[in-house]
Amino acid sequence: MSDTEDPSAIDEITNFRAKRLRQLLYITLACLNLGVALIYIFAYHLPTLLTLVGCDIMMLYALHTLLLNKVDKAASILLWSISVGLTIAVLLNSGLRDPAILSFPAILFFAALMCSRREFTLLYVYFCTATVLIGLTHLSGLRNEGYDPVNIPNIAIILLILTAASLSIRTISHDLRSALSKLEKGNRQLKISKAKAQYMAQYDELTGLPNRSLCQDRFNYQMKLIQRHGGQIALLFIDLDNFKTINDSLGHSVGDQVLKTVAGNLAQCLRKVDTAGRFGGDEFIVLLTEVNHIRDVQKTCNKILNAVNQNIVLDSYSIQTSASIGIAMAPKDGADFDSYCKKADIAMYQAKADGKNLFRFFDASMNTVSQERFVLIKDLRDALKQNQLTLFYQPKVDLRTARLVGAEALIRWQHPERGLIAPRQFIELAEETGLIVEIGDWVLEEACRQCRSWHEAGYPDFEVAVNLSSVQFARGNLTEQVEKALSQSGLAGKYLELELTESLLLGEGEHILTQLSNIKNLGVSFSIDDFGTGYSNLSYLSKYNLDALKIDQSFVFKMLESKQNLNIIIAIINIAKSLDLTVVAEGIESAETLEKLTQLGCEFAQGYYWAKPQSSADFLKYVEQNNVNC
Ligand code: C2E
Ligand code: MG
Ligand code: MG
């Protein structure tokens, strides 16, 4: 049986054959009994009578075999008994002149449809031999009852007819069989794909748990029941606490194994009436039905937390998992499935905020600010997948030559309902949730790709500056990510500048030092963003191999009015000069500020004076209009 063959389809065919054979056996039995009766009454002839009775018994035996589900054997008994019976009848009556000989091709036809090729050939050989033997008995005068004598050409003609008939029958039946088997195969494949499609529409492929749509169906069904009979349902939203780290550090296949193990553990905590499902990623859902008391829900939640909170050993890794659970109670907390999910989701984030590995019931007092925040985090998760993130570019100018040298890439979120969202509104959330790692990878790749396209558009010296979050260093594979972004885009490392925050460089962080020097080896340069706002101990500046300081815009904005700010800027420029670092000023909005900064020896600048951050297309237009000179 091939792997696509469906045993049920084969059963269907066997059943069909058995049904037809049974009908044939009944008809044959009826005919035989009628024959016995007619011969007994009208033309009593003992040998014929005995032959018919013998066939009768064999038919009953075939019927018995069929009842034991041995279809092939039953067909064989039927054919051979009829064939032998008819041969005897032919021999006993008019020999080759007997009309019964006409049934030989008919039996062959039946054999071609019901039996194997071997059985068919055996029957053909049998009929030929029988014809020759019967003919010989006539020719030799052994049996000659006064009928027309036969001669060798007569025998040869019968043999020829038998051969021609069996060849045509064999060919036709072969065509029929192959057409039928093709049809069967198509039918079987159709059934399999239909079943597969049905399964995939309702179940999660990785864990085998019901997916969102099946969970929704079950929830709606349970809701109808409680509306009629009363009672409660608990909808549990479960999210693994550290799944992202597991996936990022150990790879997707380990991540998948963890999800499968968690799914198995989860299912074991539930009763038969409950449902565990997966919404995708590391989000699971549980429907607890027939809930009599909140205590029962708490008990199950504790059970689930215990089952998930354990060391999973996989491929020589020992992985610690835990989960946070948010619970919405029906009919109290909502109107429809989506609103229950949303509330359970909010409660789940509350559980995370309260320290993880906990469960929390949704409570209306979970204030709207935090609800909005939760919703924003949720949306941010989708933003990457749905290509809602985009990069804007702010020109960077060399003050010594007044020429454009490249741009800083600044992220924007094109939210489907809220419009364009500035980074200050979501970067912090992204950092808290760890989403910044994925977002940061995307920013790196996109910025490098864009810079490479400027080179191709005729600006081969343009550089791009990308902001990095300290969280991106924590993961430990930033070097590989930078390498990947450069190699995918074909951009040389010297055209990429990474902007770091002061706070990142303050700790002891041996691992940061290693990563920085590895990235540096790729030709990439580093600058300190918003310099001057952070820390007063500047010893870190000599510890790391940096390239530039970016004066924070808060000093630049008021440098002409505030002597203090001006002094800070002068001090920063001096520090940079003495450490052999270049200086970039941010937030230049007026010609006066520009003039002053140039006078002070600041080398590079950005600001609304030239342009606000703009889309890549607008940036290119800007560059073309200004012909690189600013
Ligand atoms: P930043 O890196 O210091 O970027 C400079 C910010 O100042 C930008 O705000 C820019 O639009 C704004 N700016 C530039 N020139 C002027 C000016 O002349 N006047 C005024 N009033 N503002 C000016 P934006 O784009 O809202 O970015 C805010 C911060 O978000 C950035 O500060 C950076 O820390 C962060 N950020 C932006 N994109 C990313 C990113 O891809 N990854 C990370 N980790 N952080 C990012
Ligand atoms: Mg920056
Ligand atoms: Mg800045």
Report CA(529)–ligand 1 centroid distance (Å).
10
Task: Say how far apart CA 286 and CA 271 lie, in whole Å.
Answer: 11
What is the model's pLDDT at position 137?
A: 85
Report CA(462)–ligand 3 centroid distance (Å).
20
pLDDT higher than 90, residue 316: no
Secondary structure element (H or E) that encloses residue 82, with its range? helix 71-92
Strand-strand pairing, 232-240 and 323-330: antiparallel
367-411 pLDDT tens trace? 565 667 778 888 998 898 899 999 999 999 999 999 999 999 999
Dihedral angle, C-alpha 81, 87, 89, 94, nearest 10 ° = 170
- What pTM value is reported for the model? 0.53
Task: Say how far apart CA 591 and CA 399 lie, in whole Å.
Answer: 12
When pLDDT is averaged across residues 540-547 and rounded to a whole number, the result is 86
240-265 pLDDT tens trace? 987 876 776 677 888 899 999 999 99
Of 103-112, 141-150, 309-318, give the range with the top mean pLDDT: 103-112
Verify whether ligand 1 is closer than 6 Å to residue 410 (CB atom): yes
352-378 pLDDT tens trace? 878 889 999 998 877 565 667 778 888
Ligand 1 mutation pick, 586, 594, 615, 630, max ligand atoms within 8 A of CB = 586
pLDDT higher than 60, residue 213: yes
411-446 pLDDT tens trace? 999 999 999 999 998 998 888 778 898 999 999 999
Task: Say how far apart CA 610 and CA 342 lie, in whole Å.
Answer: 45
- Ordered DSSP codes for 434-492: THHHHHHHHHHHHHHHHHHHHHHTT-TT-EEEEE--HHHHHTS-HHHHHHHHHHHHT--
Verify whether ligand 1 is closer than 6 Å to residue 411 (CB atom): yes
pLDDT higher than 50, residue 453: yes
Report CA(410)–ligand 2 centroid distance (Å).
7
Q: Which residue's CA is minimally distant from atom 5 of ligand 1?
A: 586
Tokens (6 digits) for 602:
């600041």
Report CA(599)–ligand 1 centroid distance (Å).
25
Verify whether ligand 1 is closer than 6 Å to residue 379 (CB atom): no
pLDDT higher than 80, residue 142: no
Closest ligand to Cα 527: 2
**Contact criterion met (CB below 8 Å) for 64 and 21:** no
Verify whether ligand 1 is closer than 6 Å to residue 529 (CB atom): yes
**Contact criterion met (CB below 8 Å) for 159 and 128:** yes
What is the model's pLDDT at position 2?
A: 40
- Ligand 1 atom with least separation from CA of 423: 30
Ligand 1 mutation pick, 410, 439, 445, 592, max ligand atoms within 8 A of CB = 410
582-630 pLDDT tens trace? 999 999 999 999 999 999 999 999 999 999 999 999 999 999 988 666 6
What is the model's pLDDT at position 10?
A: 58
Q: Which of 159-163, 449-453, 504-508 has the lowest mean pLDDT?
A: 504-508
pLDDT band at residue 508 using 50, 70 and 90 as cut-offs: low
Report CA(532)–ligand 1 centroid distance (Å).
16
Report CA(410)–ligand 1 centroid distance (Å).
6
- Ligand 1 atom with least separation from CA of 613: 11
pLDDT higher than 60, residue 7: no
CB half-sphere exposure, 387, CA atoms < 13 A: 1
What is the model's pLDDT at position 354?
A: 82
Q: Which residue's CA is minimally distant from atom 35 of ligand 1?
A: 423
Name every residue whose Cβ is closer than 8 Å to that of residue 170 and which is 6 or more positions away in sequence: 112, 117, 120
Report CA(569)–ligand 3 centroid distance (Å).
14
